[in-house]
Amino acid sequence: MARILVAEDEVPVREFIRRVLEQRGHDVVAVSDGAEAVVKLARMPFDLLLTDVAMPNMDGVELSLKVARDYPKLPVLMMSGYAPPPRRRANDIGSLAPILQKPFSMVDLNAAVERALGARQPAD
C-alpha cells in the first residue's frame, strides 16, 4: 500500500486518521504541524500528504505550497473544518489540493485517499 504523511494538530483526529488508514494497509507517519511534516518529507519518501489547513507553526496552505514547489509529484489532500469564504477565487486553497471537509467518516476518508493516490504521477 502507500506511505502517507498526516499533518494534523488535533490528537484525536490524528489518531482516528492513523487507525483508519493503517487498517487499510497503509504505512502512516503522523505529525502535529507543517514544520514537522517538512522534516519528515526531507528524511523519507511519501506517496501522499494528508494535511489539515489550520495548524500552528506552519499551516496546511504554506505546507502545500512548499510541497508543490519542492515535491511536485507528491499528491496533497487537505482537510478543513471551515467552509471557504464565498469570495475566494480559483487561485486559493481549493486550487492547491482537494479538500476533505471535517467531520468526515471512515468511508469518506478512505475514498478521498484512494482518489488522491489514484491521481498521483509516477516518479521519474
Where do the domains of the chain lie, and which CATH numbers do they carry? Answer: 3-84+92-118 (3.40.50.2300)
Predicted confidence (pLDDT) at residue 77 exceeds the cutoff of 70? yes
Predicted confidence (pLDDT) at residue 120 exceeds the cutoff of 70? no
Chain CA centroid to CA 47, Å = 11
The pTM of this model reads 0.87
Question: What are the start-end ranges of the E strands in the chain?
Answer: 3-7, 27-31, 48-52, 76-80, 99-101
Query: What is residue 92's three-state secondary structure?
Result: coil
pLDDT on residue 91: 43
